[in-house]
Structure 1
Amino acid sequence: MKPFDNTFDNEPVALRRAALIAGWGLFFMTLFALYAIYFIFQTLILPEEIEMTIENIRANELQFRIGIGCYLVVIVLDVLVAWALYVFLKPINRDISLLAAWFRLVYSGIYAVALTHYFNVLQLLDSTDYIPLLEMDGVKAKTMLSLQAFNDTWAIGFVFFGLHIAFLGYLAFKSAYVPKILGILLILAGLSYLIDYFARFLFPENPLPVSTYFGWGELIFMFWLLFKGSKIVHYETT
């Protein structure tokens, strides 16, 4: 066994701190995202019911805005997690860790762009109050297009997210202080996202829900960061 040296500014402390920041960031990100998706947007947005969706959003505008706010919190936490994971994994390979961080940051940027489509929905529905000549059919069509544009833009971001997770898996697998099984699970999760979202664009009529079965690597990694990664003291050299 070989103790860490001080190459990275008291490395054990820095790694434990980065693990906690990344773990808690992922934890709260998950809570905010799940609340927004399942308790707000899935109850308001009914893809097959345009008029009901518009009525739901107009009648629950504050709830819709809270959902947007939750997504904004997720984006901020994504940036924080990208930095923390870079710090946590840079002793393995600084360049690849930086590349993985950049992939997550690009994903976060695309996510933010996607979110502007939800703001467009609010603007469209508000416009009917002071532009009475605007045809309602046009408002309905533009509203549903904006809602779909959010999903499509976010889907592009998931390609970069998949690359981020796959590179995390590679770094974890090569690491002497992260269990190799976590690296394998992360690689599988990253590849599953890539398969899912490339298939979404290439074969939109036949989606492949691969990530439903193999996309749990980051969630498992989150718990490991909180309960094990935050207690790193030393590692074995090969």
Structure 2
Amino acid sequence: MNKDISLSKAAIIAGIGLLIMTLTVPFAEFKIIPDLVSPDSASETAANITNNIFIFNLAIFLIFITIVADIIVAWALYVFLKPVNKSISLLTAWFRLLYTGVYLVAVTNLIKVFTLTKGESYFLINSPEEISEFVLFYIKSYKYEWFFGLVLFGLYLILLGFLVLKARYVPNIMGWLLIIAGLGYVIGHLKVFLFPELNTSFSMYTAMGELVFMLWLLIKGSRLKELQID
């Protein structure tokens, strides 16, 4: 029988999953959707999406890839950090999966927007203005639900950083970077619900800790030998 997956392979899988997300998330969340949405104009938003439905559907597909990658990364990092503490590693993985579940629920709002653009007969009782308002409502619901999920993601990163600090085969700096990134996510997205006037521009810099960890997994983690944790 084959042994469990090695640390180096788990690091590579996690690193590749994170790399995929660095390509899908910015394109979908920070390019396509913002370009199509006009927060103060429901009619303009609806028209933009209807006239660029392929691009809008591409964003949904990219988010789907992100969600699949999230699940794979949760598993790979569980395997990678299981030697540190199996129970806490499992709890940490569940936090990422919980965030992924919230993200998936949020995406259903985008699918509802797609349905509205199809102009099915059961929507004909509504005026175009009302349908446009529905479109903008679902877009905003998607964003707020995703932001709520990102608070959970921040807690996940804090737990992950704690585990990394305990891992003798990972530099301590990686753990601190992940904890700082996690705090940035928690504070930056709780702001939306609790502290709307709070300046959290710093969170765009704290999130860089994830990228550093991804690079370490791909470059250094891929060379780990099992003997290092014996």
Q: Structure 2 length as normaliser, TM-score?
A: 0.92
Matched, 1:127 2:127: no
SS of aligned partner of 2:141: helix
CA distance in 2, matches of 1:130, 1:61: 20
In structure 1, stretches of 5+ residues that fail to align are 1-7
Partner of 1:105: 97
Superposition pairs of residues 1-238 of structure 1, within 5 angstroms = 9=3, 14-127=6-119, 131-206=123-198, 208-233=200-225, 234-235=227-228
Per the TM alignment, residue 84 of structure 1 is displaced from its structure 2 partner at its CA by 0.1
The residue type equivalent to 1:165 in the other structure is: L
CA distance in 2, matches of 1:97, 1:119: 33
SS of aligned partner of 1:235: helix
CA distance in 2, matches of 1:169, 1:37: 25
* Residues 195 and 210 in structure 1, CA contact (< 8 A), matched pair in contact too: no
Per the TM alignment, residue 129 of structure 1 is displaced from its structure 2 partner at its CA by 6.7
Deviates more, 1:135-144 or 1:145-154: 135-144
Structure 1 moving runs of 4+ over 6 Å: none
CA distance in 1, matches of 2:38, 2:87: 44
Q: Structure 1 length as normaliser, TM-score?
A: 0.89
* Residues 43 and 129 in structure 2, CA contact (< 8 A), matched pair in contact too: no
> Percent of counterpart pairs with the same letter?
42
* Residues 95 and 152 in structure 2, CA contact (< 8 A), matched pair in contact too: yes
CA distance in 1, matches of 2:42, 2:199: 23
Q: For the structure 1 residues 227 and 123, does the alpha-carbon distance in structure 2 shift closer, same or farther, using more than 3 Å as the test?
A: same
Per the TM alignment, residue 53 of structure 1 is displaced from its structure 2 partner at its CA by 1.5
CA distance in 2, matches of 1:192, 1:206: 13
CA distance in 1, matches of 2:43, 2:129: 10
* Residues 128 and 134 in structure 1, CA contact (< 8 A), matched pair in contact too: no
Per the TM alignment, residue 124 of structure 1 is displaced from its structure 2 partner at its CA by 1.8
* Residues 84 and 166 in structure 2, CA contact (< 8 A), matched pair in contact too: yes
CA distance in 1, matches of 2:146, 2:31: 19
* Residues 83 and 101 in structure 1, CA contact (< 8 A), matched pair in contact too: yes
Q: How many residue pairs end up in the alignment?
A: 228
Per the TM alignment, residue 80 of structure 1 is displaced from its structure 2 partner at its CA by 0.3
CA distance in 1, matches of 2:121, 2:170: 57
